[in-house]
Amino acid sequence: MLNIVGIKKGAIQLIVEIEEDDTPKTVLGDVAVVDMANLCLARMVGLDRKMVPLTGVVLFIVTPASKERATIEMLRDSYDFMSGSLRDFIVTNEDEFEDELNEMELYMV
């Protein structure tokens, strides 16, 4: 389940998934779901839920630091994007993720 989306120019361009488990199976499952999707239901300020398109999305999977980090980097380098909505994915921890949040409007989903 997605936790936060970043919308810019009317399209979702950033998705944040907070995961306790960062095994390769969990990470690739999150990546594949976003890569295959083309719309997301977002709850926006002052509005009810609204379907918003996904365009060139970057998926951030925020997890506690773990021993799987090297394996995840190897998976990221070898992942074959499906010509879907996903442009890139990054597995990171909370401290590293804070640096990435600058020009997005964030909404809970």
Whether this prediction's pTM lies above 0.95 is answered by: no
Identify which has the larger pLDDT, 56 or 104. Answer: 56
Residue 104: pLDDT over 70: no
pLDDT digits (tens, 9 = 90+) for 68-81: 777 888 888 888 87
pLDDT digits (tens, 9 = 90+) for 54-68: 888 999 999 887 667
Range 33-61 burial, b when 16+ CB lie within 10 A, else e = ebbebeebebeeeeeeeeebebeebbbbb
Residue 107: pLDDT over 80: no
- The domain ranges of the chain are 4-108
